[in-house]
Amino acid sequence: MKKILVFTAIASSLLFAKSEMQTCKKCHPLIVEEFQNSMHKKSSFYDDEIHRAVWNKHPSKEKGDYSCAKCHAPHGTSEEEIQQGISCSTCHTIQNIEHHAQSDSNIYSKESKTFFSAEQGRESQKVTYKQESSFFGLNKTTVGSPYHDIDYTNEKFYTGQVCMGCHSHRQNSQGFTLCKTEESGAKHRENNCITCHMPKIKGSATTIRKTQKHAFHGFAGARHNPKMLAEHVGLDFEKTKNGFSIAVENKAPHDLLTHPLRTVELRVNLIRGGKTVPLKTNSFAKTIGYDNKPSMPWLANSVVSDTMIKADEKKIVAYDTALHSGDTLEVQLGYYIVSPEVLKDLNLDTQDELKKFTILKQRYFTIE
Ligand code: HEC
Ligand code: HEC
Ligand code: HEC
Ligand code: HEC
Ligand code: HEC
């Protein structure tokens, strides 16, 4: 008897997992299409090769304790649930967030068919579906969704707090903080995680109630659609006594890149008389380690070095190359997803895709 119960529980959650996105797709096709290509959908060790590479070396793997699931695959511990990664209902049922030292936790609402969302002008509404007929029944207008109810009253969907249960911070078992995202990015309605990473772009949010725009669900980030974030980074040039300087401005309310695997680089090429000469490259990274030597994150107890460009920081980098009239400078700010010196340690050195340098922003300056 017990066996049968367990079996049906798994079978029905499987059914739900497979069908959830298919169901949403009927009425939210654009959003689902964007989402399928995002790192939230691909967050488990099945779909994210970098996450898998770190997990394969992690001491918890031998114990079969996929502790990463809390954020990387919150639906449960079965194979199908892990494969699902983060889903539509993961975010849209986050009611509250609990603060803890190790990492924060999402409190999910028990009402699986009521979704929280945000829309300007509807902040006080809870919408249950109804069809309203006008006096003679000639015009029918529909309100809400025929599939689910919507609760627009959750403040966390307006400030970006909804993102913080997973993104705020994470400590390893030594109590050492591996990564963090400052609270200040999830406080203001005009400028927060959602306004930058889910900008409103063309296309209707639903097929039923047409809108001009919808919130981008591909979640622009380091791995997908970085160019959508380029406007939040500034690159400027100034002539100095001995040469010139380049200012890099991070307008994000968090480290330019938050994950300790990344390395940011500023590259400058001098184009003179038809020839391109690379000048010095500057690297920005945060290296964590054990007793001041770089280590895997679960062993780390200290920050070995930290030159990462901080929240709202403007870094000025000086160059002592004298410039001539007619010179052009090609300035590139970009990054490696996995710092080149770590690729081998993670057995990722065979993957050409990960050796690529991604340019986030590029500018040219011509000397008069
Ligand atoms: C049968 C059609 C239908 C299906 C299926 C459906 N929705 Fe909706 N949904 C709608 C409509 C219509 C609206 C807009 C309601 C309004 O604006 O009054 C909506 C609105 C929403 C909103 C809030 C939008 C806002 O205005 O901020 C969210 C969130 C949402 N749906 C999520 C989902 C998810 C997740 C699924 C799949 C589990 C899903 N929907 C399945 C029709 C549907
Ligand atoms: C508290 C939530 C949380 C937990 C628990 C967690 N992660 Fe993450 N992880 C994140 C977030 C958020 C990111 C996105 C990058 C960032 O914010 O720095 C991420 C990114 C990563 C990345 C980079 C992936 C990429 O696409 O480049 C790796 C690797 C990773 N995590 C490994 C792990 C492993 C291994 C575990 C379990 C031992 C784990 N994480 C547990 C939240 C978490
Ligand atoms: C249930 C946990 C969870 C929630 C809630 C969550 N995230 Fe994430 N997010 C993650 C994890 C885990 C990753 C890393 C996935 C990976 O690379 O394996 C991630 C990655 C990202 C990335 C990097 C994408 C890329 O291409 O590099 C961005 C940007 C992001 N999240 C933004 C947000 C925003 C904005 C919100 C709130 C609307 C949010 N996240 C809510 C867990 C979460
Ligand atoms: C002013 C715009 C802005 C705001 C607000 C903002 N970000 Fe970002 N975010 C950026 C930029 C720019 C990058 C760098 C993108 C790149 O290099 O590809 C970034 C990168 C990220 C990444 C990828 C980090 C990595 O190492 O892979 C995550 C995750 C992320 N942001 C989450 C958040 C969360 C969560 C919030 C809210 C607390 C937030 N962001 C608020 C602009 C913003
Ligand atoms: C990482 C968290 C997260 C995930 C996962 C997520 N959403 Fe959303 N979604 C949000 C947030 C936050 C908003 C509110 C954006 C805003 O300010 O309008 C939103 C808005 C919406 C809207 C209203 C869009 C608009 O522009 O009015 C719909 C519809 C929706 N989501 C459906 C979905 C569907 C369907 C999925 C799965 C394919 C999904 N969401 C996955 C966080 C998420």
pLDDT in tens, 124-169: 999 987 766 665 656 666 677 888 999 999 999 999 999 999 999 9
The per-residue pLDDT for 133 is 62
Chain mean pLDDT for the chain: 92
Share of the chain above pLDDT 90, in %: 88
Residue 231 Cα to ligand 2 middle (Å): 25
Q: What is the pLDDT of residues 63-81, one digit of tens each?
A: 999 999 999 999 999 999 9
Which residues make Cβ contacts (< 8 Å) with residue 213, sequence separation at least 6?
A: 200, 201, 202, 203, 205
CA 368, CA 362: separation in Å to the nearest integer? 20
pLDDT tens-digit map of 186-208: 999 999 999 999 999 999 999 99
Give residues with Cβ within 8 angstroms of 147, minimum separation 6: 23, 27, 113, 129
Report the C-alpha gap between 194 and 318 in whole angstroms. Answer: 35
Decide if 247 contacts 268 (C-beta within 8 A).
no
How far is ligand 5, taken at its centre, from the CA of residue 256, in Å? 24
CA distance 235 to 362: 8
**For ligand 4, atom 14: residue with the closest CA:** 256
Q: In the predicted model, is pLDDT for residue 229 greater than 80?
A: yes
162 pocket-lining for ligand 4 (C-beta < 6 Å): no
Confidence of residue 357 (pLDDT cuts 50, 70, 90): very high
Q: Report pLDDT for 7.
A: 40
**Is residue 322 within 8 Å of residue 349, measured between CB atoms?**
no
Structure tokens at 324: 């001539």
* pLDDT value for 100: 97
- Judged against a pLDDT cut of 60, whether residue 15 lies above it is answered with no
For ligand 5, pick from 217, 219, 224 the residue to mutate: most ligand atoms within 8 Å of CB: 217
Which residue has the CA at smallest separation from atom 33 of ligand 5?
88
Any ligand 3 atom below 6 A from CB of 226: no
Query: Among residues 77, 59, 99, 62, which one has the least CA distance to residue 9?
Result: 77
